[in-house]
Chain A
Amino acid sequence: MKKFLIALVALTTMQITIAQNNRGTFSGGFESNSQWYQDDDGLGTFAPQDQLRSNNYFTLRYSYDKFTAGIQYELFAPNPLLGYFEGFEGNGIGTYYLNFKHKGLDITGGHFYDQFGSGLVYRSWEDRQLGIDNSIRGVRVKYDFTNFLNATAFTGNQRVGFEVSEGTVTGINTELDLSTALDLETGIQIGASYVNRFQSSTSPDLNFPADVGAYSARADLTFNKFFLGAEYVYKEQDAFVLDGFVSNNNYQDGRALLLNTGYATKGLGINATFRAVENMGFYSDREASGNAFLTNTINYVPGYTKQQDYAVSNIYVYAPQPFVSPGEGKAGEIGGQIDVYYTAKKGSTLGGKYGTKFEFNYANWSGLDATFDVANNTYQASLLSRNEKYFEEASIAVKKRFSRNFSTIFTAVHTEYNTTIIEGSGDFLRGDAFIVDALYKLDGGQSIRMDLQHLSADADRGNWAAATAEYAFSPYLSMYVTDLYNYDETDIHYYSLGGSYTKGRTRVAMNYGRQRGGLVCVGGVCRFVPENTGLTLNISTNF
């Protein structure tokens, strides 16, 4: 720690000196998320052993000429916040890298983030809210051969807490822009990738897969107003893993198909996505398969549903089901969603004086039709088949401005949720949510926002109501109070109040209240958070 501080001081001083001489620039950030947990008789929860917990991230990045160097120091003291991976306990250098960029060449040594195609074969990323950092520590080289052809190759081990994975991940990717190459009107991009995971065999079986490769081929087409994209992925046989126990003689392969199409013109945009996945868990450590903290994930299989904006429409959220589990009757999923954005013009009947915006989304997901041999943990399935319904949702949002100062958003959501599949047990749930959000702008940058929300559901905890009031004193300072109330079954209020101050590069937010337990989903990836009560402080600054 002391050494690190000295190094940091030296580095910072050096950088400042250099920056002043215009010989390089540096940037960075600091983010701190802390919570002081309280016992709560009303919820029946107790504060954890370390009542005050804090997740802190310091990043520094320095670039000079063709070089960029970066470092991220992380401190989880004395323990990470509840629901985060225990491997983050303590402190240390989380990531570091040195990058060289010249003309078409881009070389990184150290930790890097990247993705191939849609991420179905490979994506490494960081999300502090989810507690995910699956960057790869190794070497990555990217080269632009021409302005229409590039290739990337990398190898390394994946970050897991403050350690790296046992397995080594290696990948190559190439992308060709045919429209530029052939000077076409129609946009045509094609790409192909191969990603391999090598982890020594732990089995006496000579056929045990130590090397597991995954292949991706894809194409994107853009005609004037239409666009169309397709990606197919095949993953070689990997050992079947159940609750961390690796099978010595049961090997299964996986595959996925992703199609996307849409139409966009001024005032109307439509996008439709279809995806089928079978056994697409891909991990840098086979024993980590299906782990709750999403560590060691090489590929990215997000839930393609709409990310809802309000408390009552975020209780029953779909978590994607790409894994095989014969005991639970799961082999993968098939489904899709469609989004429509429409603006009724100013002056039209629907549009009124200011124009009205409509957003519509429909999502539907089901399990693959498969036959299972539960005793042997094997299955037979077809990728393009459909069986039990996992999730269905239809939502509409209407954004209407009534005057220069007053605007509203009306939202309605119908949800069907297979609780057993998504959470492990429970009855199939149908719910309808209605939300009204009104915003009134006052003079001098002040504004008032209020929302009223209701969800009626026929299972689990039944009906919910919620309300929020938010007052902005200026563009810099705002305060809010909110309550989510389960008035049907538990009679619990999940109240919260707080405020935030933001100025230039710095934001400070503080709130006190109850956090509803359950899935917290960011970008279609979900993490389980236990119910808790406490005081939270978030500070972030960038420079």
Chain B
Amino acid sequence: MKKILTIILIFCFAIAKAQTSLPEISLKNLSGKEVSLTSLSEDKTVVVSLWATWCVPCIRELDTIAEVYEEMQEEINFELVAISVDDSRSTRRVKPAVMGKGWEYTVLLDPNNDVRRHLGNPNVPLTLIIKNGEIVYRHSSFTPGAEDELFEKFKEIAG
């Protein structure tokens, strides 16, 4: 038990000091074209949301934001990139789901979960705010109302 505590302590210390960014890899978009992750937030702030077609709170979050997406784009330059962590079983569902729901987000596919693993294998939904390549805000899970908090944070960070 003592050992575990020590490890936890080390990790807590590490967390305090850590700063991360997205990995330098490329993911395919829904047209099969490669998009480099580092190019996503060049000189700007974007929200990156990790989601999956089988994840109910993820769909709730993205549906909720979709309802006000245009407004928020105009008001605060809000931009969201939805990275699907669906594996090869369900990755084919992503395009019909996104189109069928009428989402306007940039959607990228991470079927091998490279991005997710890079971020420490978090549960989805995971919502990140990225400014000039650095992850500056991180929130997992979604309950209604969390979108308002996200818009607030975005405004604050994007400045």
Contact = CB atoms under 8 A, between A and B. Distances in A.
A and B bound? yes
B105 to A, nearest CB: 13
B112 interface: yes
Nearest to B18: A543
A126 interface: yes
A393 interface: no
Contacts of A474: 143, 145
Interface in A276-325: 300, 302-304, 307, 309
B121 A126 contact: yes
Q: Which of B6, B7, B56, B142 has the most CB of A within 10 A?
A: B7
Contact of B96 (A147, A229, A264): A264
B121 A472 contact: no
A26 B143 CA distance: 30
Interface in A75-131: 75, 101, 113-115, 117-119, 123, 125-126, 128
A354 B67 contact: yes
Interface stretch (A53-61, A160-168, A243-251, A417-425): A53-61
B7 A8 contact: yes
Interface in A258-279: 260, 262-271, 273
Interface in B57-111: 60, 63, 67, 87-90, 92-93, 95-102, 111
Contact of A269 (B63, B97, B138): B97
B31 A222 contact: yes
Nearest to A116: B88
Nearest to A507: B140
B122 A29 contact: yes
Contact of B123 (A125, A343, A540): A540
B4 A56 contact: yes
A222 to B, nearest CB: 6
Contacts of A229: 92
A27 interface: yes
A11 to B, nearest CB: 9
B118 interface: yes
B14 A16 contact: yes
B121 A31 contact: yes
A101 B23 CA distance: 11
A392 interface: no
Interface in B1-49: 3-4, 6-8, 10-11, 13-15, 17-21, 24, 31-32, 34
Interface in B108-143: 111-113, 117-123, 137-143
A333 to B, nearest CB: 15
Contact of B32 (A189, A262, A307): A189
Nearest to B67: A354
Interface stretch (A191-199, A203-211, A369-377, A497-505): A497-505
Q: Which of A439, A475, A541 has the most CB of B within 10 A?
A: A475
Contacts of A307: 54, 90
B49 to A, nearest CB: 14
B143 to A, nearest CB: 4
Interface of A is mostly: strand
Q: Which of B31, B67, B87 has the most CB of A within 10 A?
A: B87
A392 B19 CA distance: 48
Nearest to A8: B10
A182 interface: no
A177 interface: yes
Contacts of A341: 96-97, 99-101
A12 to B, nearest CB: 5
B89 A28 contact: no
B156 interface: no
B158 interface: no
A470 B13 CA distance: 34
B87 A445 contact: no
A524 interface: yes
Contact of B102 (A113, A266, A541): A266
B95 A264 contact: yes
Contact of A300 (B6, B88, B113, B142): B88
B157 interface: no
B4 A75 contact: yes
A475 B149 contact: yes
A269 B96 contact: yes
A268 B99 contact: yes
Given A61-B118, A227-B95, A541-B11, 13 more contacts: A27-B18, A264-B96, A270-B100, A271-B93, A300-B88, A300-B89, A302-B88, A303-B89, A445-B149, A504-B138, A504-B139, A542-B122, A543-B20
Interface of B: 3-4, 6-8, 10-11, 13-15, 17-21, 24, 31-32, 34, 54, 56, 60, 63, 67, 87-90, 92-93, 95-102, 111-113, 117-123, 137-146, 148-149
28 contacts: A5-B7, A12-B13, A19-B18, A25-B19, A25-B20, A26-B14, A28-B11, A28-B120, A56-B4, A58-B11, A113-B117, A125-B112, A177-B32, A266-B102, A268-B100, A269-B100, A271-B95, A300-B89, A340-B96, A341-B99, A341-B100, A445-B146, A447-B143, A447-B145, A475-B141, A475-B142, A524-B90, A540-B123
